[in-house]
Amino acid sequence: MNLPSKVKIVDVGPRDGLQNEKAQVPAAVKIELVHRLQDAGLTEIEVTSFVSPKWVPQMADAAEVMAGITRKPGVRYSVLTPNMKGFEAAVLCKPDEIVVFAAASEAFSQRNINCSIEESIERFRPVTEAALSQGIRVRGAISCAVGCPYEGEVAPERVEMVARLLKGIGVQHMGVADTIGVGTPLKVQRAMEATLRHYDINDVSGHFHDTYGQALGNTLICLEMGIWNYDTSSAGLGGCPYAKGATGNVATEDVVYMLQGMGIDTGIDLDKLIDAGKFISDYLERKPNSRAATALLNKRTG
């Protein structure tokens, strides 16, 4: 097995994890979560999203959150920018990286943003050009890379096409996202192989949802391919909008526990990470959606 000796994790909890929460989470709580994550050793944090407050009210305080963070040297702070208006607002907050995304499913693209995949990517061209000209890194994501709530299974050829088009507009790093968590290891492997036709192995990451309990298995097969970048969410924050009551993002704690058990370095302090997840879970008045965190918290009080 070609296992990496280290893994880099992007914690997307503050953005992807919180964006679907119905009750508004105050900026101060989001800022505290970011601070706790960086104190736990996270060096990549997806902080917020510069989207229309009309569509995502939870992210209306994006500028306030970015302004309130005490930045730590060596930590990369990224923000989602779905269009030029979002980028222009984001750039005032000096993000280290912006994130753009396109679906590998034509139906998903049409239903969500009323345009084709190719049109959606063309819309990002001025955004990526503006970011790169200002020295801001550009990360991309391919959503619905293995399955779509409208189309069902998504062919690797669609993933390959999206990776090629995003590479063509200057996107530097590509995340392969199983948005609804239906992926299983071989399907994920094929989606990754399709992406690797256009991106170096160091510039590809996995973003897995645990809706059907497959996220750790999907992570493991990618580790065996030598992929060492992953998106995860503290306390498993983030529901899946297409499967009622289902879990969303894989919990950072579960991935770190698995990696530590495999002798793979993450640079993350698991106890501090669990504390960060407990902090936000306590605020949301629920238990952390992480098996590892639950087990280790029980051990503390046992």
240 is catalytic: yes
Cα separation values, 168 from 118, 119, 212, Å? 11, 13, 34
- Pairing assessment for the beta strands 137-143 and 173-178 based on DSSP bridges: parallel
CA 61 to chain centre: 19
CB 143 within 8 A of CB 103: yes
Rounded-to-integer distance, Cα 3 and Cα 77, Å? 27
With b for 16 or more beta-carbon neighbours within 10 A and e for fewer, the 7-20 pattern comes to: bbbbbbbbbbbbbe
Q: What are phi and psi of 140, to 5 degrees?
A: -120, 165
Single out the catalytic residue among 93, 144, 222, 240: 240
Length of the chain: 302
CB 176 within 8 A of CB 142: yes
CB 191 within 8 A of CB 180: no
Positions marked catalytic: 240
